[in-house]
Amino acid sequence: MRALIFACALALPLPAMANDFTTSAGVKPILELIRPQWIAIRPYEGQDLLYMTTLLTYRCGIEQIRFSYNGGDLQVWEGEPCYHGEASPMALKMENHLPYAVAPLDSLQNVTINLLFDDGTTLEQSYTRAEVQIN
């Protein structure tokens, strides 16, 4: 059965599959499934790093990534653009943008993520530090 599924997957045209992940219709179902992994907090060298790496991987269908710390106002994440027209539009080149925000050590106790998609819909998720901290 696995061989049949694999063979069917290989038969799909790759450009059509890639296009599915550059719009909200393609990325929203995935993001719904991986909500617990949208972000991570890591204490590092005397500060907290808020990693957005997972969200940035699916950013092509996201119009804006907004976030807040500890119940504060939502801020817009100024991240890397989607590279439409390139072979890997979701690649992270990290030439001018880092995949994390910096905050004082132990200051990120609660984080809320609000995603605005290219179809005008939103998804929101809140996290406690204990849920997403990595060491």
Sign of torsion over alpha carbons 25, 30, 32, 38: negative
- Would the pTM count as exceeding 0.85? no
pLDDT in tens, 59-99: 999 999 999 999 999 999 988 999 989 999 989 998 889 99
Mean pLDDT of 8-14: 45
Q: What percent of the chain has pLDDT over 90?
A: 73
Q: Residue 114: pLDDT above 70?
A: yes
Contacts of 3 (CB under 8 A, 6+ apart): none
Q: How confident is the model at residue 20 (pLDDT cuts 50, 70, 90)?
A: low
Q: How confident is the model at residue 3 (pLDDT cuts 50, 70, 90)?
A: very low
Contacts of 94 (CB under 8 A, 6+ apart): 80
Q: Residue 11: pLDDT above 70?
A: no
Please give the Cα distance from 116 to 91 (Å, whole number): 20
Higher pLDDT: 8 or 99? It is 99
